Amino acid sequence: MKKIATLLAIILTISTLFAGCSKKEQQTSSSNSNSDVIKIGVFEPMTGANAAGGALEIEGIKLANELYPEVLGKKVELVLVDNKSDKVEAANAAARLTQKEKVTVILGSWGSSLSMAAGDIVRKAQIPAIGTSCTNPLVTKGNDYYFRVCFIDPFQGTVMANYAYSKLGAKKAAIVQEVSNDYAVGLAKFFTDSFKELTGDPNCIVAVSNYNTGDQDFSAQLTNIKSANPDVIFAPGNFTESALLIKQARQLGIKAPFIGGDTWETPEFVTIGKEAVEGATFSTFFTSEKPITKESEKFLEAFRKKYNHEPAAVAALGYDAYILALDAIKRAGTTDSVKVRDEIAKTKDFEGAAGKISLDENGDAVKNAVIKTVKEGKFTYLDTIEPKK
């Protein structure tokens, strides 16, 4: 009996070995035949705290892939990986795209921290990455392989400080920042610098409070802020936490307006915050109410047809990152990632859905900012701000 069992075990082991072999053969043959496919990696949070943001960008990228499915006569295949809204997972996900999937270009991510986690990996692998809505300057700084189709936070911080000072007439501001998020901390700093300059008062920031990604209770921070009595509260951070934060602020009887950054523009911000987020104002990249280029019109029409709702700004950026990548591959005439990188770096006056893209020496797009507010449960366009020349 025992002998039979041993024999069986050996046979099973050997057969699995063979199974492994045949699988490998299949894979190599398929990758040979797959050489007429160009792989583009999509590096986005699909689960975790930033999942809603990632989902919006993927909507834009998938739409672009449907409208422009081919380049150099080859089919473009999107390889989606989930960076799980987590810096460690983001590094793993980027490694998978560069080493296992061997993609030509990487698109993403929503969230600067996640993009920064991938920075070193794409640079070492020499595979260019095009950031969608990661706005922290450090994403592209000192990294020749990271680019982006959005503006950066020094500009965004100035825009919101200007808005608070001139439109809201605020003299005192409080800051609540998501301290574990590079994006929020960076943006808060640029806002602070700019607001101090505008008011000429070094003590114009009356309170600074921190919270962590995933926190749900902000009552203590908000009670402190209430006692400092600011005219406006700048609260850059993830949309779920921000929605809960504003909700709890209203419950504590804080009446000051809340202003923030581009991360707020997700449906969850409104569905979770409900009436509490009415009047919350933030800067973002694009509005469907004012198409900028021919590509915007094409994008809007196709988007509304496919998804039956209005696109978020980041969906347009996802779309732009994809068409820019395709254009660079076309200009390079090859899928060699280093040559594609050089072409991306040369991008000038490229017509994207969210405006014309010209990349500066750091690989950052110089673009207009749009200010939106929540009105009757919808994101509503307020103003467009041009970058300083």
Of 125 and 245, nearer to another protein (C-beta) is 245
- State which residue, 255 or 388, has the beta carbon closest to another protein: 255
Residues with Cβ < 8 Å from 384, sequence gap 6 or more? 290, 368, 369, 370, 371
Do the beta carbons of residue 235 and residue 177 sit within 8 Å?
A: yes
CA angle (239 as vertex; 238, 242 as ends), nearest 5 = 85
Query: Counting contacts by CB under 8 A, is residue 243 touching another protein?
Result: yes
Q: Is 88 in the site for another protein (CB under 8 A)?
A: no
Smallest separation, CB 181 to another protein (Å): 11
121 part of the interface to another protein, by CB under 8 A: no
Per-residue mark of binding to another protein, 44-73 (x: CB under 8 A): --xxxx-xx--x------------------
Among residues 24, 274, 309, 378, which is the contact residue for another protein, using CB under 8 A? 274
User: What is the spatial distance between Cα 292 and Cα 357, in angstroms, rounded to a whole number?
Assistant: 12
Q: Nearest approach, Cβ of 188 to another protein (angstroms)?
A: 12
Nearer to another protein, 43 or 211 (CB): 211
Interface with another protein includes 179 (CB under 8 A)?
yes
Residue ranges in 202-231 that form contacts with another protein under rule CB under 8 A: 207-212, 214-217, 219-221, 223-224, 226-227
Q: Does 252 bind another protein (CB under 8 A)?
A: yes
Residue entry with tokens 């008062």: 201
Contact between 95 and 73 under an 8 Å Cβ cutoff? The reply is: no
**Distance between CA atoms of residues 121 and 92, nearest Å:** 9
Which residue's CB is nearer to another protein, number 180 or number 293?
180
> What angle, 0 to 180 degrees and rounded to 10, lies between the N-to-C axes of helices 87-95 and 112-125?
30
Could you give the strand order of the β-sheet that contains 369-375, starting from the edge strand earlier in sequence?
205-211, 173-178, 232-234, 258-260, 281-284, 369-375, 378-385
Taking the complex as a whole, how short is the minimal distance between the CB of residue 125 and another protein, in angstroms?
27
User: Closest separation between CB of residue 48 and another protein, Å?
Assistant: 6
Q: Which two tokens stand for residue 303?
A: 């988007």
Which amino acid type is present at position 157?
G
CB of 57 to another protein, least distance (A): 13
Residue 165 half-sphere exposure toward CB, CA atoms < 13 A:
19
**C-alpha dist (Å) from residue 292 to 270, 289, 365:** 26, 10, 15
Restricting to residues 345-364, name those near another protein by CB under 8 A.
none
Alpha helix (H) residue ranges in 333-378: 337-345
319 lies in the site for another protein, by CB under 8 A: no
CB of 252 to another protein, least distance (A): 5
Considering beta carbons, is residue 20 or 214 the nearer one to another protein? 214
254: three-class secondary structure by DSSP: coil
Query: With respect to another protein, which residue has the nearer C-beta, 223 or 380?
Result: 223
Q: By CB under 8 A, tell whether 272 contacts another protein.
A: yes
Q: Which of 46/125 has CB closer to another protein?
A: 46
SS3 content of the chain, % helix, strand, coil (to 5): 50, 20, 30
At residue 222, what is the residue type?
A: L
* Residue number, 38 or 207, with CB nearest to another protein: 207
Residue selected from 4, 253, 361, 376 as contacting another protein according to rule CB under 8 A: 253
- Per rule CB under 8 A, count of chain residues that contact another protein: 37
Member of 101, 144, 193, 268 binding another protein (CB under 8 A)? 268
CA distances from 58 to 41, 52, 165 (A): 11, 10, 35
Q: Which residues bind another protein (CB under 8 A)?
A: 46-49, 51-52, 55, 179-180, 207-212, 214-217, 219-221, 223-224, 226-227, 240, 243-244, 247, 251-253, 268, 271-272, 274
